Amino acid sequence: MLAESLFILLGTVSVVAALGMLIARNPVTSALWLILTLFCVAGLYLTLSAEFIAVVQVLVYAGAIMVLFLFVIMLLNLGALPQLEKMDWKKALGFVLCVIVLSQLVFIVATSLQLMPATATVAEDAGAATTIAKTLFTRHMLDFEMIGVLLLVATVGALMLAKRKFA
């Protein structure tokens, strides 16, 4: 199964990248790991034939938000960060083992309680931009307009708090 192997590949890479983000010493490295994770998640969306969400994921997260992160990191004084001790590999190994055992336990408990979600069949065009647009501008038009207002509020508020002079 191509889809299944793709899922396993993308899923593993995204989890590894997420771990890499957590344990990376350098914030810039950490941010780059995060980008890899986000790309893999976008790939997962593609395997679910949700092209639109995949594209948005890359554009918004990997593009806009990550650039913002990197800018903030660059403005910080990285030299002032505390020097960390050397990593204890025994502890790291113990942690990995714990995670594996825990996930096995959760899996067993979840299957025995029948908590595992049934595999849903996704319609072919469920993730296409046309489908999303049709629902967004009809069923959810009020929500859509309101989110526009929400963004306006956030922008105006940020500008007001930042730009108004201290009285």
Partner 1 sequence: MDISGAYDSILYDIAGGFSLLVLLLAGIVCIVWDIFENDEPVLPFVAAMACVVGIVWEVRNLDAGSSTVFYDSIRAYGLASYINITILLSALATVILSVPYLKRIKHGYGEVYALIVFATAGAVMMGTANSLVTVFVGLETMSISLYILAGLVRRDEGGIESALKYFLLGAFSTGFFLYGIALLYGATGTMYLPEMASGFIERGELTLLFWAGIALFFVGFLFKVSAVPFHMWTPDVYQGAPTPLTGYMSTASKAAAFAALVLVLYYGLAPMPVAAWQTALAVVALVTMVLGNLLALVQNNAKRMLAYSSIAHAGYVLVALTAGTSQGYAGAVYYLLIYSLMNIGAFGVMALLEWDDKEGRLQTIDSLAGIGFRKPLLGVAMGVFMFSLIGFPPFGGFFGKVAVFAPAIEAGYTWLAIAGVLASALSGYYYLRVLYVFWMRTEEQADPAVRARAFPVSFSSAAVVVTCALVLLVIGFIPYVRDLTQIYFDASVFATMP
| Binding range to partner 1, per CB under 8 A, among 13-21, 64-72, 87-95, 148-156 | 148-156
CB of 163 to partner 1, least distance (A): 10
- The answer to whether 111 contacts partner 1 (rule: CB under 8 A) is no
The 3-class secondary structure across the chain, one letter per residue, is CHHHHHHHHHHHHHHHHHHHHHHCCCHHHHHHHHHHHHHHHHHHHHHCCCHHHHHHHHHHHHHHHHHHHHHHHHHCCHHHCCCCCCCCHHHHHHHHHHHHHHHHHHHHHHHHCCCCCCCCCCCCCCCCHHHHHHHHHCCCHHHHHHHHHHHHHHHHHHHHHHHCCCC
Q: Which is nearer to partner 1, 104 or 135 (CB)?
A: 135
- Distance between CA 34 and CA 68 in Å, rounded? 13
- The answer to whether 88 contacts partner 1 (rule: CB under 8 A) is no
Instruction: Report the site for partner 1 in 34-63 (rule: CB under 8 A).
Output: none
- The answer to whether 166 contacts partner 1 (rule: CB under 8 A) is yes
Site string for partner 1, 123-142 (x = CB under 8 A): --------x--xx-xxxxxx
Q: Which is nearer to partner 1, 92 or 152 (CB)?
A: 152
- The answer to whether 149 contacts partner 1 (rule: CB under 8 A) is yes
Contact footprint for partner 1 (CB under 8 A):
113, 115, 117, 131, 134-135, 137-143, 145-147, 149-150, 152-154, 156-158, 160-161, 164, 166-167
